Amino acid sequence: MTAAQAQRRRSIDRIVRDYRQRLLSFIRWLAPTRADTEDILQDVLYQFTVSFDDIRSLEDTAAWLFRVARNRVTDLARKPSLGRQLDPAAGGEGYLLEELLPDPSAGPERRFLQAEMAQAIEAALEALPEPQRDVFIWHELQGLSFNEIADLTGEPLNTLLSRKRYAVLALRARLKDLKSD
C-alpha cells in the first residue's frame, strides 16, 4: 500500500467514525424499519468510499453523506407498493395505508374496491412532481413535521407547505372519482 493509499484509507476511516452515529440516527429517524436503516447506512458508506476522491472538502462530505442518505430513504419509500407495512414491532413507525381504505373483511366487493383504490393512489402519487411527492410522503406517510422536513432538505418552510398544498390538490383532482360511500 502506498503512502497516498494509506492516507486515503485513514481519511475515510476518520470520516466514517465521525459521521456514522449521526448518519445512523438521521436514517433511523426517516427509514421505516431498523433493517432498512442498516441497509441504507451500509449503502451510503459504500457509496462514500467509492466517491471519496470526487468529494472536495469536509463541508462537502457532510452534505454529501446526508443528501445521499435522504435520497436512499426517498427511493425506498417509492419502491414498495403503498400497502407496505411500516411495522412498529419491527422498529418502524407509521401505519398501513390499508387503514385508510375500506375494511377488507366487508366482503369481496370491498376487497376489490380496496385494491383499486390502492392502485389509484399509488399511480396518483407517482404522477406528482418529485418535490411535491417527497413532501407529501414525508409528511403524510412517514409522519415528519414540516420543521423536520425543512431541517432535512434545507428548503424554506413556506416552500414545503406550498408543495404539500399542490400535492393535495393534484391528488384530490385525480382521486375525486374514487370516493367511497
Type of residue at 81? S
CATH class of 102-178: mainly alpha
Q: Are 157 and 150 in contact (CB under 8 A)?
A: yes
Amino acid 56: pLDDT: 64
Amino acid 112: pLDDT: 66
CB crowding 40-76: b at 16 or more within 10 Å, else e: bbebbbeebeeeeeebeeeeebbebbbebbbebbbeb
Check residue 139 and report its DSSP letter: I
Residue ranges of the chain that CATH labels 1.10.10.10: 102-178
CATH class of 3-78: mainly alpha
Amino acid 114: pLDDT: 62
Q: How far is the C-alpha of 72 from the C-alpha of 41, rounded, in Å? A: 9
Residue ranges of the chain that CATH labels 1.10.1740.10: 3-78
Amino acid 125: pLDDT: 85
Amino acid 115: pLDDT: 65
pLDDT per residue of the chain (181 residues) written in tens, 0 to 9? 888 888 888 888 888 888 888 888 888 877 777 888 888 889 888 888 888 777 766 557 877 888 888 888 877 776 644 444 333 344 444 333 444 444 545 566 655 666 677 677 778 888 999 999 888 888 877 777 888 888 888 999 899 999 999 998 888 888 877 654 4
